[in-house]
Structure 1
Amino acid sequence: MNKQELISAIASAANLSTVEAACALDATTDAITHALAQGSDVRLMGFGSFVVRDRAARTGRNPKTGDTVQIKASKVAAFKAGKALKEAVNS
């Protein structure tokens, strides 16, 4: 499912126009992005949690040349599925 298909699904499920559904989706993703940028977690009961994880510095390898390179430490966004989502996927 791509973004347009998701917008259409939201619009039909919530009885909204596609423009309103697009605005709602954009506002949701912006709110999640802003919270993660601040270092906060976003927890949606039954669905899952968006969290920020620290990734340590590590040594990698350039596949083209075979040379080793140092990869800097960074922060990454991660999603952990909630119980209800896991059950829905595995049913």
Structure 2
Amino acid sequence: MPSTTIAVGSAVGLHARPATIIAEAVAAAGSAVTLAVEGGEPVDAGSALMIMTLGAEKGTQVVVSADDQATLDEIAGLVGKDLDAE
């Protein structure tokens, strides 16, 4: 499973709004995707609630893993983007 590490871009971290946007993108992609913070267990990125349990604040390094490279690139891009600015 390909993976990459990216810093959280949302100003207040992966709270409800960014987590929901990411989870919806994972559901639309139809691939298995996990997110993890350093030293933490990976969580299902298709669940906004599980994403919020990471406690990832702006700048936190998050490991994104996905079944395919295109999905990995899409979800990593969302994690690194300020989703509150939209």
TM over 0.5: no
Question: What is the TM-score with the length of structure 1 in the denominator?
Answer: 0.25
Higher-Rg structure is 1
Q: Which has the higher strand share?
A: 1
What's the TM-score, normalizing by structure 2? 0.26
The structure with higher relative contact order (CA 8 Å, sep 6+) is 2
